């Protein structure tokens, strides 16, 4: 595989990773790279990206409903109120990734975010979106970075404000998933046509 856009069964060109499974195809075509706004929605993506660290994104996608159920649909106030009993429940829940450090970070992050004003997480994350002007569309997967100066700065700011389990690579994956950057390949059908 060259890393270039590939024709799918419907004849449309897509990013090659999006064709490896039906789960990826749906995620690629309907969600990845599209703008996500709102504190709880961004908290969910931040948590899922942290849980993905060291694992396949497919593992997370296939357990996403389990995560949503286990973590109160990622309502920041609800997760912030989780107790030690909730922690033990989560660590026994086979519908999620039962990693103690990631569970603890999710609960701690919710407690931190519960002290922020409404909209503050959304504003902070989106303030690190790079200007798309002059940012060329990647032609191959090799043109897609794993880390950028913006993701490094975002991770640093989130850590400074007390959030855990977020580094520059996780921050960039969040930026890609939530539409702060558009890393669909230049020939991909999911890349918006310039106005």
Cα torsion angle, 100, 94, 56, 156, sign: negative
24 is catalytic: no
Which residues touch 68 (CB under 8 Å, ≥6 apart)? Answer: 44, 74
Catalytic residue among 17, 49, 150, 172: 49
Catalytic residue among 24, 27, 128, 172: 27
| 8 Å CB contact between 195 and 18 | no
Partners of 4 in beta bridges = 140
**Phi, psi torsion values for 7, nearest 5 degrees:** -75, 130
57 is catalytic: yes
4 is catalytic: no
Closest CA to 111 of 163, 154, 159, 69: 163
| 8 Å CB contact between 60 and 24 | no
Catalytic residue among 4, 12, 31, 57: 57
User: What is the spatial distance between Cα 131 and Cα 175, in angstroms, rounded to a whole number?
Assistant: 13
Positions marked active-site:
27, 49, 57
């Amino acid at each position: 595989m060259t890393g270039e856009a590939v024709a799918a069964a419907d004849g449309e060109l897509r990013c090659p990773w999006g064709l490896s499974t039906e789960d990826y195809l749906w995620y690629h075509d309907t969600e990845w790279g599209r703008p996500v706004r709102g504190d709880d929605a961004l908290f969910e993506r931040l948590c899922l990206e942290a849980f993905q660290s060291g694992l396949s994104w497919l593992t997370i996608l296939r357990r996403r409903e389990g995560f949503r159920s286990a973590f109160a649909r990622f309502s920041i106030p609800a997760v912030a109120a989780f107790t030690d009993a909730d922690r033990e429940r989560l660590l026994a829940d086979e519908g999620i990734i039962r990693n103690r450090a990631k569970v603890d970070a999710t609960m701690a992050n919710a407690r931190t975010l519960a002290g922020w004003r409404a909209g503050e997480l959304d504003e902070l994350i989106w303030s690190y979106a790079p200007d798309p002007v002059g940012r060329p569309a990647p032609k191959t997967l090799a043109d897609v970075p794993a880390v950028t100066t913006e993701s490094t700065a975002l991770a640093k700011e989130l850590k400074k404000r007390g959030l855990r389990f977020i580094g520059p690579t996780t921050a960039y994956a969040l930026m890609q998933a939530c539409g702060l950057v558009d890393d669909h390949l230049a020939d991909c059908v999911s890349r918006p046509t310039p106005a």
